[in-house]
Amino acid sequence: MTSNKKKRIEDLFNINVLGSGEQPMLFAHGYGCDQNMFRFLYPYFENEYKVVLFDYIGAGNSNISAYSHEKYSSLDSYADDILTICDHLNLENVIFVGHSVSAMIGVLASNKAPTLFSKLIMIGPSPRYINDAHYTGGFDETAIEELLETLDSNYLGWSTTMAPVIMGNSDRPALGEELSASFCSTDPEIAKNFARATFLSDNRKDLKSVAVPCLILQSKKDIIAPIAVGEYTANAVQNGRLKILEATGHCPNLSAPKETAEAILEFLD
């Protein structure tokens, strides 16, 4: 018997709640992949926090049929989804960890519900990717067009090549066999729509109303979010602290999980 149980919030967002702590820590993945982005990071918090993981609609194992191109053409709808998830799980006093574009989604959600988050942790945030006269975002507008072309070019190969083979791989014990076959294999149209929503967004004006303590974690070298952008973000929020990591690249949560976790733990203490 079929039903629309997939519409239920847990299945809609593929929500996973782990850990033995009380205070919720909500991990929001960025553009590109899904909650597996935090695979190496969240174990550092499982003992003391209630770890909440999810996939945005259109990513990972979320219910793709709930995706709407109109709705998800701006980050605002993603922020609404964060509120839906928190509301559904009755989360309060939430520590929000947002990677990449999710840092700004967290900012938008925090402005919509100013008492929901007690702290914001932003990994590689950027309120504006495109340069303008008085601001360095790191990209010019042609970059986003080229990204869309790249996504198009990988169209035919995508579904197979970007999906990992399920492995019982002994040298990667962290990856169980359950690693979702859909990791990083988003529908190209969804990927393009999310890319547009992400890289064309401008959330600079939204930062100043964020009053809760914010930790901005910034790789020392990151082409997606250069150090200047991290500095800008830390200064623009009311109560921001910038921490430059030794790690490089846009995903220190994957490439340097220990260093990333330590920086977060230090901030939370």
* Site of interaction with another protein (CB under 8 A): 1-8, 30-33, 36-37, 39, 63, 65, 68-71, 88, 100, 139, 142-157, 161-162, 164-165, 167, 169, 171-172, 175, 179, 183-184, 195, 199, 221-224, 248-251, 254-255
Q: Which is nearer to another protein, 214 or 251 (CB)?
A: 251
Q: Give me the catalytic one of 100, 102, 110, 180.
A: 100
Strand 16-18, strand 50-53: pairing: antiparallel
Determine the Cα–Cα distance for residues 260 and 247; give it in Å rounded to an integer.
8
Q: Which is nearer to another protein, 103 or 237 (CB)?
A: 103
- For residue 211, what are the contacts with CB-CB under 8 A and spacing of at least 6? 114, 238, 239
Query: Does residue 219 carry a catalytic annotation?
Result: no
Query: Does residue 88 carry a catalytic annotation?
Result: no
Query: Does residue 100 carry a catalytic annotation?
Result: yes
User: Residue for token digits 């169209």?
Assistant: 155
Strand 240-248, strand 117-123: pairing: unpaired
Q: Which is nearer to another protein, 2 or 134 (CB)?
A: 2
With contact defined as beta carbons under 8 Å apart, do 8 and 35 qualify?
A: no
User: Residue for token digits 């220190």?
Assistant: 252
- Other C-beta atoms within 10 Å of 227: how many? 16
- For residue 248, what are the contacts with CB-CB under 8 A and spacing of at least 6? 219, 220, 221, 222, 255
Q: How far is the CB of 268 from another protein (least distance, A)?
A: 25
Q: How far is the CB of 75 from another protein (least distance, A)?
A: 16
Biggest alpha carbon distance in the chain? 59
Determine the Cα–Cα distance for residues 149 and 143; give it in Å rounded to an integer.
10
Q: Which is nearer to another protein, 82 or 237 (CB)?
A: 82
Q: How far is the CB of 191 from another protein (least distance, A)?
A: 8
Q: How far is the CB of 70 from another protein (least distance, A)?
A: 7
Q: How far is the CB of 104 from another protein (least distance, A)?
A: 15
Q: Which is nearer to another protein, 155 or 235 (CB)?
A: 155
Q: Annotated active-site positions, please? A: 100, 222, 250
